[in-house]
Copies of this chain bind each other. A is one copy, B any other.
Amino acid sequence: MTKSIRVIQYGTGPIGSAVARLIADRPGLELVAAVDVDPKKAGQDVGDVIGLGRKLGFAVVPKLAQVGSKAEVVAHCTNSYIDQFKGQMIEILGAGYDLVSTSEELSFPTPPHQAAAAEIDAAAKKAGKSVLGTGVNPGFLMDALPLFLTGICQKVDRIAVTRTMNASKRRGPFQAKIGSGMTVEAFMAKMAEGRMGHVGLPESMNMVFDTLGKTLVKYESTVEPVVAERPIHTNFFDVQPGLVCGLKQVARGYDENGEFMTLTFKAFLESEIDHDLVEITGTPNLTVKLEGTNGDLATAAIAVNAIRRVFEAAPGLVTMRDLPIVTAWSTLR
């Protein structure tokens, strides 16, 4: 690549800011603008807003139409739910940009979201642009990675992915998201509203089944609290025994022959285990253990790493299983 790809950051929350910082520092990419609806951010220098540690010389604008600079790609980090981001994406694609998003529900269209995904796909094709949803999970650990590993298998009978995180090492908002400090009753009530737990397991499950040529005949998902057995202190929470210190979420996908894939997501304070495990039962049996995958670093990384692939991709909605291998490239300055 002899010329930089110019990128607009759309959404400057914690993930969007991490993505934007990485774009600003990556040779081959150029951060040229940032869009955020927050009126407190409008007019401020983008470098300040994203926490870059230096000014960039241009201000956050509240609307895409107000971006004056030319650009090729938009990095979109606003929210998880397709009903809420669909309109944003159709506008971005219609304005002539390729699009990489960290929105979980875009990572693979599950049946409830296929109609909305088809609208986004149609908008992309009409504009001659491509659009990808990615992240570490969904987008890598529980879908693209196990799929990639099956490449050296003659036969796959079962796949289990277990992600176990020591939440004590993570940011305060993450510790809050997994229920730290809540009563079990409050956790269960929020769970009953469907507001508790990791977003993206159905997307991962559907990507794996679809790619392996399997029919997902049944999908089950459970979330349960992990309860503190002793007092736990973090920089953000003091959790008394009997209160929630995290969660365990399990999704099971079945084909005609029974349970084929199990996705387990465990995140709790003071977990002694802090790794990811992919277990494939088949010919051969494979066990792959990952240490060091960091959700905060990795989601920003994979979104930025995907930019050049999306820039080069054929028009339409693409997923992580469709692209050439997404990699880091070059090194940071």
Task: Give the interface of A toward B (CB within 8 A).
Answer: 1, 22, 28, 136, 140, 144-145, 147-148, 150-157, 211-214, 282-294, 297-298, 300-302, 304-306, 320-332
Asked if residues B301 and A154 are in contact (CB atoms below 8 Å), the reply is yes
Closest-CB distance, A254 to chain B (whole angstroms): 14
Assuming A151-B140, A151-B305, is B156 touching A328 (CB within 8 A)?
A: yes
Assuming A287-B292, A292-B287, is B282 touching A154 (CB within 8 A)?
A: no
User: Roughly how many angstroms separate A298 CA and B150 CA in the complex, as a whole number?
Assistant: 10
Say how many copies of this protein the assembly contains: 2
Starting from the known contacts A145-B148, A286-B293, 7 additional A-B residue pairs (CB-CB under 8 Å) come to A147-B327, A151-B302, A152-B301, A211-B329, A212-B329, A282-B328, A284-B292
Closest to A305 in B: B151
Tell me which residues across on chain B come within 8 A of A304, comparing CB atoms: 154
Asked if residues B332 and A152 are in contact (CB atoms below 8 Å), the reply is no
Asked if residues B287 and A291 are in contact (CB atoms below 8 Å), the reply is yes
Tell me which residues across on chain B come within 8 A of A214, comparing CB atoms: 330-331
Asked if residues B212 and A330 are in contact (CB atoms below 8 Å), the reply is yes
Asked if residues B293 and A284 are in contact (CB atoms below 8 Å), the reply is yes
Tell me which residues across on chain B come within 8 A of A22, comparing CB atoms: 154
User: Roughly how many angstroms separate A148 CA and B298 CA in the complex, as a whole number?
Assistant: 13
Assuming A148-B148, A151-B302, is B211 touching A327 (CB within 8 A)?
A: yes
